[in-house]
Structures are given as structure tokens and as C-alpha cells.
Amino acid sequence: MAAWWGERPLAQLGVLLGVGVMFAYLGDNLSGNMQRVGITPGFAFLSHAANFEIGESPINYAAGDSYGRAILVGLLNTVKVAAVGSVLATMLGVALGVARLSSNRLLSGLVRGYIDVVRNTPLLLQLFFWNITVHMLPGPRQAFEPVPGVLLSNRGVFAPALQQGSEWIALSILALLLLTGWVARRRRLAGAPLSAAVLAAALLSAVVVPLAAARLLGVETALDWPRLQGFNIAGGLTLSPEFAALLIGLVVNSAAGVAETVRAGILSVPTGQWEAGQACGLRRWHVLRLIVVPQALRVIVPVMTSNYLSLTKNSSLAVAIGFPDLVSVLNTTANTTGQALETIAIMMLVYLSLSLGVSVAMNWYNRRLAAREAGRS
């Protein structure tokens, strides 16, 4: 017991009681002040009508809905931008990290300049820049069309999408493609890879089967193309200017960190691995993909966790450019209800939960990666 308490147990107990009494006094004082101005402490306000609109909502929401539903809308917007941003930042960052190691000095220098500029300027300033850039795009009638069906205007980004009611087709195709990729990977690790013909047939079936089922069930599978209608663009998938600016800003900023992480991971692999691969007749790209990157993941994955956590928490800056994320909705809630302490507690709890969720997922993947490497050795 003495070892558990450590030295001077009575002094420790006295400090603990003193801290508890201080917090109890502050809590009682805060509760009295809130009641004096007509604010009832607690979370009962979550069931009251919010009476404010939210510009962008992934679920049905109206001004008469509860504060709880409004906060849920903000949370879903935050999760949406964090999830999409993490995927895009990873793709761009990996490409930049590999390009940073290129023997082409022009390419390597451009990537280095990009990384230096992005990592040495405030993210908030970058978000302002992208927000102004998006809003300076031409109007709907003069919208840019870099790719057929994709329109860029000051009203947002518009792209083709499946017609309403056929979302399950896209989800089915995605699930079957992921299942096919997982099976092919498992067989390759087991030493019995699928032949190119069998893999191509499986991928084709993953697309054809859901479309055939939709045709038999009479579900329309045509694409809904964006089109000019009046003074705006209608149809297709729409990304608001605020969401587009926030997503671009987060991806561009986070990709710089991912690129440095990838570069450091690749450089951590001994040069003898490169030489051994090239001595076996492999091209540089195949050496990188088959030999170097699998070993570099031991260094890359733990650091990538920090990059994803930073991107998720940095999404809270969306309030500065008008995107209705969790922070924006909770700020409005605090201003209209006066429950500032409760809204701050909700905000802290939500971001803590999101961060812990990302950490748990990445740690699980890191453990699997370490176990696989241990099994190979």
C-alpha cells in the first residue's frame, strides 16, 4: 500500500481534496450565475427547436428541428470533410513524396518549393486564399468544364451522379470491388495469386452483376448530369463553394506533411534493398512498389496517424469561411441558448472521440502490419 501511495500520502490527499473543493466552489458559483440570468444548466436544450437554418446538410434538416439534430448535422459535415480529405491528402501526399525523391531536379525542386510554402504559412491564411479563389470563379453561364460533365463556378463544383434512388447500386459495386481486391490480396500473400484473366473477370462481374440486378428490378441507372437551368446549375452532385474551399485547403496543407512522411519512410530503407532489387532485373518502379514501400510502411504508418488527427482537428477552421461544421453549429447554438459551457463540453467530447477513433483504427492497422512483418521474418 505504501508503494502505491508513494511519499507523503497525507499531503497528496490534502491536495486532492483541495482541488475537489475548488472545482465544487467554481461549479456552484457558475450554476448560481447561470440561474440568475435565467439559464438552466444541463443538456435539456438539445430537445428544443433550433430555429436556425443550416446551409449544407447531409441529412434532412429544417429550422424547426431540435438543437440535437442540428449538432448532428454539424458532426456529419465534419466527418465528411475529414474522411474525404484524409483519402485525397494520402493520394496526393504519396505522389508528392515519391516525386520529391525523383532524380529530375526540376520536379524535385518544384515539390520541395510547394512543401516549403505550404508548411510555412498558416492554414487559416490558406483557407482564406482558397475561399476567395473559389468565389472568384465565373458564374454558372460561363462555368469552367475541365472534364466533360464537371463544372466549376462560383456556385460550387458540379459533377455527374447516379439518379436518386439508385445509390445502392454504387455501394454494391464498391463493396464487390473491395471484396475482389481483398480476395486477390489474400491469395497473393498465400502464394497462390489469381491469374490476370480470372481477376479481370471478377472485376467485370463486380460491375455487371449490380447493374443487371438493377435492370431486372426496374431501377433507373442513368447518370444525372449537371445542366444550366435558369441562372444556376441543376442536377448531378453538388459541392458548395465553402465545402470545396475547405476540402482543397485541408488536402493541399495535409498533403505536404504526408509527402515528408513518405519521403522519410522511403529514405529509412537501406540502399542495399534498391541495389538488390535492381540486381534481380526489376525496374526502379517495381523495386519501389514491391520492396521498398512495404518496408517503409513501418516508419510511415505511425506518423500518418498524426497527419490524420491534424487534418480532423484542423477542419474546425471551417467556421472562418462559413462552412457549417460542428464548431460553427455549436457556436450558433451557444449564442442562441446561452449554454456556452455545455456546448464547449460537447465540442471537446466529440473531437476527443473522433481523435481516439482515428488512433484506434491506425494502431490496429499498425499492429497488423507489424505482425505480418514478424511472420515473414
More confident call, 211 vs 291: 291
Q: Is the pLDDT of residue 27 over 60?
A: yes
Read off the pLDDT band of 101 (50, 70, 90): confident
* Domain-located, residue 92: yes
Are the beta carbons of 156 and 244 closer than 8 angstroms? yes
Domain for residue 125, yes or no?
no
> What type of residue is 285?
W
| Structure confidence at residue 206 as a pLDDT band (50, 70, 90) | low
Confidence of residue 221 (pLDDT cuts 50, 70, 90): low
Of the two residues 240 and 210, the one the predictor is more confident about is 240
Query: Could you tell me if residue 177 is inside a domain?
Result: no
Tell me whether residue 48 is in a domain.
no
* Residue 204 domain-assigned (yes or no): no
Contact present, 155 and 233 (Cβ < 8 Å):
yes
Tally Cβ neighbours within 10 Å of residue 256.
Answer: 23
Asked if residue 315 is part of any domain, the answer here is yes
Q: Does 145 reside within a domain?
A: no
Is residue 261 in a domain? yes
CATH label of the domain that carries residue 302: 1.10.3720.10
This prediction has a pTM of 0.79
CA distance 153 to 163: 22
pLDDT tens digits, 159-181: 877 665 555 566 676 677 777 77
Domain extent at residue 77: 67-111+239-376
| Residue found under cell 485525397 | 88
End-to-end alpha carbon distance in the chain: 44
Please, is 332 exposed, middle or buried when counting C-beta atoms within 10 Å of its C-beta (0-12, 13-18, 19+)? buried
Instruction: Find all residues with CB under 8 Å of 319, minimum gap 6, and list them.
Output: 325, 327, 328, 331
When divided into structural domains, the chain yields a total of 1
Cα–Cα distance for residue pair 21/23, rounded to 1 Å = 6
The residue with greater pLDDT, 5 or 104, is 104
